[in-house]
Structure 1
């Protein structure tokens, strides 16, 4: 393995990712998407966000588990309730981070 192999790999993976994303943007109007798939695609952003956020909340020190001494769990629950009731992204972020910082300040 020479010094260029990782860079070539990164470039090919980047091009592949770009091509996949571009195909959805470029061909969206040209292809006929079935109504059932179109309805399912509405839930993709929420599921991707959950897949990104949940491990960060649940894993404490690299170990999975629901431990109520982890201040991220109550903060995430409060943020989820705020998001559900207000539908405001900015307020959800502010309240969630405020609760997290408050719990960390209190030593919970």
Structure 2
């Protein structure tokens, strides 16, 4: 067995155990208030860490803000998400804005 295959299997097993453990224990464990408060910040932090570079550095290269259709389309999309709280409207506004802005940049 190659070392790479062994690494992939071990990482996969570790990931499975972490997820299965948290799913099976999550509903039965009463988390302390400090842990619940800490976990409430995880989702926005991960979302920001994933979306930030995609919006600011499309394709891994810095693009001036006025020539970045992804960044320009994200602004009205964020407003639509905040105002409507609807995934359908948010996606629709994002797609329409990107389709309209992309040819202009």
TM over 0.5: yes
- Gapped regions of structure 1 (runs ≥ 5): none
Partner of 1:103: 101
- Gapped regions of structure 2 (runs ≥ 5): none
* Cα distance between partner residues in 1 of 2:56 and 2:65: 8
CA, structure 1 residues 25+104, in 2 after alignment: closer, same or farther (shift >3 Å)? Answer: same
Partner of 1:68: 66
TM-score scaled to structure 2, two decimals? 0.83
TM-score scaled to structure 1, two decimals? 0.81
* Cα distance between partner residues in 1 of 2:55 and 2:23: 32
More helix by share: 2
Deviation sequence 1:28-87 (CA, Å, 0-9, x none): 233331112213323322332222222111113422465221011111111111111111
CA root-mean-square deviation:
2.0
**Among candidates 22, 25, 30, match of residue 24 of structure 1:** 22
Q: How many residues align?
A: 105
Q: After the TM superposition, which of the residue ranges 44-53 and 4-13 deviates more from structure 2?
A: 44-53
